[in-house]
Amino acid sequence: MNVIDPVAANQGDITGRVRLEQSEDGARLTGWALGEADVPGEPPEIAIQVPGLGLRTLAAWPLAPDAEALPDGACGFTWHLPSSVRDGVPRELRVWNLATGLELAGSPIAVGRGAAVQANEAEAPLARWDAPLTGHVSAGDPVELAPGLFVAAEPPARSLRYELVVGDPMTADTAPERGIRILADAPSGRIALHFPLAPLMPTIEDTPALLQLRAWLPQATQRAMQAQAELWLMVFRFGGFEKLRRLRRVRVFRRPSLITAQITLSEEDFAAGALWLGVEALNARGLAAMPPRIVAPAGSSAAGMEDQRLHSAFDALAELVRVHGEAAMPTHALLPAMPPAAGQSPCVAAGDAHPFTQVILPVYNGDDIVRGCLRALRAAGTGPFQVLIVDDGSRGFTAEMLRREVAGDPRFILHRRDTNRGYTKSINEAVALTQAPWVVVLNSDTVVPHGWLDRLHAAARARPGTGMVGPLSNAATWQSIPEVKRPDGSWSVNDMIEPEHLDAVQRLLDEVSTREYPEFPVLNGFCTLIARTVLDRIGAYDEEAFPMGYGEETDLCLRARRAGFRLTLADDAFVYHHKSLSFGAAGRSPLTRAGGLEMTNKHLGVNIAALERTMQSCPALVRVRARMLDRLKEIS
Amino acid sequence: MARIAFVLPVRGGSGGAHSVVQEVTALRALGVEARVLVNRANAPQFAAAYDRFAWVAEGGMGVFDGPKDLALLAAEAEVVIGTTNTSVHSISEALLTMRNSAIRTGYYVQDYEPLFYAAGTSEHQLAVASFALLPNCVYFAKTSWLTGIVQAAHGLDAVRVVPSIDHGLYGPAPRSPGRRVVVAMVRPATPRRAPRRTLKLMARLAAGEFGDVEVVGFGADAEEMEQAGLVTPEGVRMLGRLRQQDVAALMRAADVFLDLSDYQAFGRTAAEAMACGCVALAPRLGGAPDFIADGVSGFLVDTTDADAVAAALRSILSLSESELRAMRYAGLEAVAGFTPVRAAMSEMRALGLA
pLDDT at residue A34 in the model: 86
Decide if A16-111 and A357-578+587-635 have a common fold: no
For A255, the closest chain B residue by CA position comes to B125
Four-point Cα dihedral B171, B174, B178, B183, nearest 10: 0
Contact predicate A254/A220, CB 8 Å: yes
What mean pLDDT value characterizes chain B? 95
Note whether A555 and A545 are within 8 A (CB).
yes
Judge whether residue A587 has pLDDT over 50: no
CA distance linking residue A106 with residue A297, whole number of Å? 33
- For B180-336, the fitting CATH number among 3.40.50.150, 3.40.50.2300, 1.10.1270.20, 3.40.50.2000 is 3.40.50.2000
CB contact under 8 A, B153 and A605: yes
User: A156-211: per-residue pLDDT in tens?
Assistant: 999 999 988 876 655 544 455 778 999 999 999 999 999 999 888 777 766 788 89
The interface residues of chain A toward chain B in range 594-613, judged by CB-CB distance below 8 A, are 600, 604-607, 609-611, 613
pLDDT at A160: 93
Rounded to the nearest 10 degrees, the angle between the axes of helix B195-206 and helix B306-317 is: 50
Residue A93, SS3 per DSSP: strand
Contact A351, A11 (CB under 8 A): no
Residue A509's region, left for phi above 0, alpha for psi from -120 to 50, else beta, is alpha
Q: Give the Å distances, CA to CA, from A263 to A211, A234, B229.
A: 7, 12, 21
Model confidence band, residue A453 (pLDDT cutoffs 50, 70, 90): very high
pLDDT digits (tens, 9 = 90+) for B126-143: 999 999 999 889 999 999
B325: left (phi over 0), alpha (psi -120 to 50) or beta: alpha
Domain ranges within chain B, ordered by starting residue: 3-164+339-350, 180-336
Q: Is the pLDDT of residue A250 over 90?
A: yes
Judging contacts by C-beta atoms under 8 Å, the chain A residues touching residue B263 are 310, 336
Q: What is the pLDDT of residue A340?
A: 60
Using a pLDDT cut of 70, give the percent of chain B over it. Answer: 99
User: Which pLDDT does position A501 carry in this prediction?
Assistant: 92
pLDDT in tens, B187-200: 999 999 999 999 99
Residues in chain B within 8 Å Cβ distance of A610: 154-156
What is the reported pLDDT for A2? 39
| Interface contact A295, partner B, CB < 8 A | no
Where do the domains of chain A lie? 16-111, 124-295, 357-578+587-635
* Interface-testing mutation among B117, B128, B136, B264, with chain A (most A C-beta atoms within 10 A): B128
Could you report the per-residue pLDDT of B161-175, keeping only the tens digit for each? 999 999 999 999 998
Q: What is the pLDDT of residues B284-295, one digit of tens each?
A: 999 999 999 999
pLDDT band at A43 (very low <50, low <70, confident <90, very high): confident
E runs forming strands in A52-121: 54-59, 61-62, 74-80, 91-97, 102-103, 109-111
Is the domain defined by A124-295 classed in CATH 2.60.120.260? yes
Model confidence at A122, pLDDT cuts 50, 70, 90, reads very low
Task: Answer whether the bond into residue A482 is a cis peptide, omega within 30°.
Answer: yes
Distance CA B331, CA B317 (A): 16
DSSP 3-state of A102? strand
Partner residue facing A321 (CB), from B114, B152, B192: B152
| B125 contacts A255? CB cut-off 8 A | yes
d(CA A163, CA B24): 52
Which residues from chain B sit within 8 angstroms of residue A303, using beta carbons?
A: 304
* SS3 call for A205: coil
The closest CB to that of A304, out of B145, B190, B304, belongs to: B304
Q: What is the pLDDT of residues B63-86, one digit of tens each?
A: 999 999 999 999 999 999 999 999
How far CA A64 is from CA of A3, A67, A68, A69, A74, in Å, comes to 12, 6, 9, 12, 9
| Domain A357-578+587-635 sits in CATH 3.90.550.10 | yes
Instruction: Please state, in angstroms and rounded to a whole number, the distance separating the CA atoms of residues A478 and A608.
Output: 13
Residue B248 CA to residue B271 CA, distance in Å, equals 11
Residue A492 per-residue DSSP state: P
Question: E strands, A167-239, where?
Answer: 178-196, 209-216, 226-237
Beta-carbon contacts of A200 under 8 Å, excluding residues fewer than 6 positions away, are A121, A122, A209, A211, A292, A293, A294
- pLDDT bracket for residue A36 (50, 70, 90): confident
CB contact burial A245-258 (16+ within 10 A = b; e otherwise): eebbebbbbbbbbb
CB distance B132–A253 less than 8 Å?
Answer: no
Q: Mean pLDDT over residues A74-86, rounded?
A: 77
Residue B264 has what DSSP assignment? Answer: B
Report whether pLDDT(B10) > 60: yes
Does A306 sit within 8 Å of B116, measured CB to CB? no
| B55, HSE (Cβ side, Cα atoms, 13 Å) | 19
A613 has pLDDT over 50: yes
From the number of C-beta atoms within 10 Å of its C-beta (0-12, 13-18, 19+), residue B264 rates as: buried
Domains B3-164+339-350 and B180-336 share a fold: yes
Question: Between residues A59 and A265, which one has the greater pLDDT?
Answer: A265
pLDDT for residue A635 is more than 90 = no
Q: Is residue A582 pLDDT above 80, yes or no?
A: no
Mutate one of A168, A305, A603 to test the B interface: name it (highest B CB count within 10 A): A305
Asked if A253's CB is within 8 angstroms of B122's CB, the reply is yes
Confidence band for A284, pLDDT divided at 50, 70 and 90: very high
Predicted pLDDT of residue A241: 93
Residue A327: band (very low, low, confident or very high) from pLDDT cuts 50, 70, 90: confident
What kind of architecture, by CATH, is found in domain B3-164+339-350? Answer: 3-Layer(aba) Sandwich (3.40)
Contact A300 B152 (CB under 8 A): no
What average pLDDT does the segment A509-538 reach? Answer: 94
A420 vs A401: which has the higher pLDDT: A401
Q: Quick one: pLDDT at residue B102?
A: 81
Question: Is residue B180 predicted with pLDDT exceeding 50?
Answer: yes
Q: Under an 8 A CB cutoff, do A336 and B263 touch?
A: yes
Query: What pLDDT does A62 receive?
Result: 77
Farthest-apart Cα atoms in chain A, separation: 90
Backbone Cα Rg of chain B:
21
Average of per-residue pLDDT across A265-271: 86
The pLDDT tens digits for A227-238 are: 999 999 999 988
Q: Does residue A268 have a pLDDT over 90?
A: no
The answer to whether residue B259 scores a pLDDT higher than 90 is yes
Coil, strand or helix: which one is B133?
A: coil
Task: Name the minimum distance, in Å, from the CA of B119 to any CA of chain A.
Answer: 5
Q: Are strands A140-146 and B3-7 parallel, antiparallel or unpaired?
A: unpaired
Q: How many CB atoms lie within 10 A of CB A273?
A: 15
pLDDT surpassing 70 at residue A68: no
Please name the fold of domain A16-111. Answer: Immunoglobulin-like (2.60.40)
Residue among A250, A316, A332 whose CB faces B114 most closely:
A316
**Among A253, A307, A317, beta carbon nearest to B191:** A307
Q: How far is A140 from chain B (nearest CA, A)?
A: 27
Whether complex ipTM tops 0.90: yes
What pLDDT score does A78 carry? 81
Instruction: Calculate mean pLDDT across residues A389-393.
Output: 90
Q: Taking Cα atoms as reference points, which of A49, A83, A61, A45 lies closest to residue A4?
A: A61
The answer to whether residues A200 and A293 touch, using CB atoms and an 8 Å cutoff, is: yes
Q: Name the residue type at position A100.
A: T
Chain B residue at shortest CA distance from A310: B115
pLDDT for position A321: 95
Q: For residue A81, how many other CB atoms are within 10 A of its CB?
A: 23
Strands A438-442 and A527-531: antiparallel
Omega before residue A156 within 30° of 0, cis: yes
Sign of the CA dihedral running A217, A223, A224, A228: negative
Please count the other Cβ atoms lying within 10 Å of the Cβ belonging to residue A581: 8
Distance (Å, whole) CA B327 – CA B347: 30
Q: Which residue has the higher pLDDT, A223 or A257?
A: A257
Q: What letter represents residue B267's amino acid? A: G
**Residue A294 pLDDT class (50, 70, 90 cuts):** confident
pLDDT of A67 > 70? The answer is no
CA distance A477 to A470: 12
pLDDT at A4 over 50: no
pLDDT of residue A112: 67
Residues of chain A with pLDDT > 90: what percent? 47
Q: What is the 8-class DSSP label of residue A365?
A: S
Question: Which pLDDT belongs to residue A579?
Answer: 76
Q: Is A307 on the interface with B (CB under 8 A)?
A: yes
What is the percent of chain A where pLDDT is above 70? Answer: 84
